[in-house]
Amino acid sequence: MTTGPLLPIQNQLMRWLRHLGTERRLSALSLDAYGRDVRQFGEFLSENPQMMLQKLSAADLRQFMAQRRAGGIGSRSLMRQLAAIRSFLRYLESEGEVDASALALLRGPKLGKSLPKPISMGHARQMTDADLLAGSPREAWVLARDAAVISLLYGCGLRISEALLLTRAQAPMDGQDHVRVTGKGNKTRMVPVIEPVRLAIADYLALCPFSLPPAEPLFRGVRGGPLKPRLIQLAVEEMRGALGLPSSATPHALRHSFATHLLSRGGDLRAIQELLGHASLSTTQIYTEVDQARLLAVFDATHPRA
């Protein structure tokens, strides 16, 4: 968890983050994101000393939103930042430190409805193949590592953070057909592992030059430390270029593809919710719209009277 420069809300911010970590058991990644969002709000207050944290007005909060808009932030990112600020102010209100009544007068930005953009089945399979970038100057074990991580994203529907949190002891080996995953809010779930994913992980383990104690991270960087998400993002960018895919083909799009392809093959929506680790079925239902959109596109492209 980073602390950044000293702000007028520094003490309250650190107490709130400790509360989120202990009471709500948020992950370190979530705490970093929440802290970053509220820290920017603290910098805004530093630049506007006439605004009092103890009695913020709706106009003060709208001015902050306008400044962030002018800085180029999108509606979805601004919505997430406002959610963090709301949580922070509600916490301080519960501690008797501020009056957060202005939040009731504040409306969030309107979000344009956008559907996840899955990768086609053929391209998703190609991205899990270590031979796709065989001409790359990177070592064979690194290509095998990237293929194993990407296989977990597409073959098991994991988030990139979930894949990189796996330890050596959790690797699905010796006929093990499932993996225990720790997701958002430190909730765990069991996810089936298909044979191609097990084989990709076995190939990586056979080539990995580092000792991997059971309780330590399964996936390593070139110097032996825990693998960083950015390296997988770069690997996917390289694969995207090799396959001529659009910029929407990201690591998270592989998770979208997992859900969409299961649904298109008759997968049960409730089962897909469990596999993805979604707290609410409504979050998973967006994939029904993706599948309908795909079917309509096929209809429009192929029907003689379309």
User: Is the pLDDT score of 134 beyond 60?
Assistant: yes
pLDDT (tens digit per residue) in 99-128: 888 888 777 666 555 666 788 889 999 999
Catalytic residue among 117, 123, 189, 252: 252
CATH, range 121-302: 1.10.443.10
Active site residue 252: yes
Greatest CA span in the chain, whole angstroms? 67
User: Is the pLDDT score of 157 beyond 60?
Assistant: yes
Active site residue 278: yes
Cα 143–147–151 angle (5° rounding)?
175
**Quick one: which of 209, 220, 212 has its CA closest to 146?**
220
User: Is the pLDDT score of 297 beyond 90?
Assistant: no
Instruction: Return the SS3 of 57.
Output: coil
Give the pLDDT confidence score for residue 56 in this predicted structure.
84
Phi, psi of 226 (to 5 degrees): -60, 140
Domain 10-105 listed as CATH 1.10.150.130? yes
Active site residue 255: yes
Active site residue 303: no
The one-letter code for the residue type at 174 is D
Per CATH, 10-105 and 121-302 having the same topology is answered no
pLDDT band of 202, cuts 50, 70, 90? very high
pLDDT band of 71, cuts 50, 70, 90? confident
Structural domain spans, the chain:
10-105, 121-302
Catalytic residue among 86, 184, 189, 294: 184
User: Is the pLDDT score of 303 beyond 60?
Assistant: no
pLDDT band of 98, cuts 50, 70, 90? confident
pTM of the model: 0.62
Give the pLDDT confidence score for residue 225 in this predicted structure.
94
End-to-end, the C-alpha distance of the chain in Å comes to 55
pLDDT band of 291, cuts 50, 70, 90? low
Catalytic residue among 159, 198, 220, 261: 159
Distance (Å, rounded) from C-alpha 304 to C-alpha 141? 50
Lowest-confidence region among 49-53, 143-147, 163-167? 49-53
- Only one residue has tokens 């089945």, namely 121
Q: How would you class 92 by CB atoms within 10 Å of its CB: exposed for 0-12, middle for 13-18, buried for 19 or more?
A: buried
User: Is the pLDDT score of 216 beyond 50?
Assistant: yes
